[in-house]
Amino acid sequence: MTLTYDEVMAALEAAGSEQTRKTYLRHGASEPLFGVKFGDLRPLARKCGTDHALAEQLWASGNTDARLLACMVADPEEVSEAELDTWLDDIDTFILVDTFVAEIASKTPGRRARAERWIASDRDRTAQAGWDLMNYVALSDTEVADGYFEAQLEVIAERIEGYGNWTRRSASNTITGIGLRNDTLEAAARDTAARMGPVEFDPGQTSCVMPDPIEYLEKTKAYRAKQAQKRVAKST
């Protein structure tokens, strides 16, 4: 049974807590919001199913919890480029940027050109989304030539100090994503990180950290190798 907008908003309000609301506020979210744990949004999203009309209603509410859920139920095949831009313009917290990119922008065709366009923006939150999206491109678009990503590393090295806090974090994570593609790009990522040196990151009132891009790369490679060994062991 399809849930109505009013039913979904009532479910969100019932699932909210003051503790989670305060956590979201510390992370830069704005009112109105109920404070629904991220883990409680996913089951509700499954109940809603893919419903782009509902997603648009939820987004229009301006409620942070509703907008997080909207990202989860929106249909990537129905969303337009203009709508993506409009939603991104509305976003005022990095939490929502991460979900927006992961759930919609990374699943909609044309993401490489979109990432480039957002990265070129003077608006810091838009650039953050661009680097988050470029990281998805690096991790999954296998047909893109190495030279393309080497150029992206140069852009990061040139601009990262001028970015705001969370955009620096997204750009740094993209260095890791590019370095994970192959040995050539790993060497380029290491060189970029070495030339940049430590990048300042202020978590404010949050417990968030910005991993060193090369340490993160090495940990990810070690994890992947361990998982590969487990798969081999299972097959024998």
Distance CA 109, CA 107 (A): 7
Structure-derived torsion over alpha carbons of residues 164, 168, 170, 175, reported in degrees to the nearest 10: 160
Domain that holds residue 56: 1-86
| Strand stretches in the chain, DSSP E | none
Distance CA 181, CA 33 (A): 39
pLDDT for position 19: 93
Q: Same domain, yes or no, for 117 and 9? A: no
Neighbouring CB atoms inside 10 A of 35's CB total 20
pLDDT over 90 for what percent of the chain? Answer: 79
Q: Same domain, yes or no, for 72 and 155? A: no
pLDDT by residue (tens digit) across 17-60? 999 999 888 887 888 999 999 899 999 999 999 999 999 999 99
Q: Same domain, yes or no, for 79 and 124? A: no
- The lowest-confidence range among 16-20, 91-95, 124-128, 203-207 is 203-207
pLDDT at 1 over 60: no
Q: Same domain, yes or no, for 115 and 214? A: yes
Residue 40: inside a domain = yes
Last residue of some domain: 54, 86, 118?
Answer: 86
Q: What is the domain count for the chain?
A: 2
Omega prior to 32 cis, within 30 of 0: yes
Q: Same domain, yes or no, for 199 and 141? A: yes
pLDDT over 70 for what percent of the chain? Answer: 97
Which pLDDT band holds residue 207 (cuts at 50, 70, 90)? low
Q: Same domain, yes or no, for 199 and 122? A: yes
* Residue 119 · residue 134 · CB < 8 Å: yes
pLDDT at 159 over 70: yes
Q: Same domain, yes or no, for 40 and 143? A: no
Nearest partner of 176 among 124, 223, 113, 143, judged by Cα: 223
Q: Same domain, yes or no, for 53 and 136? A: no
Q: Same domain, yes or no, for 228 and 162? A: yes
Q: Same domain, yes or no, for 118 and 78? A: no
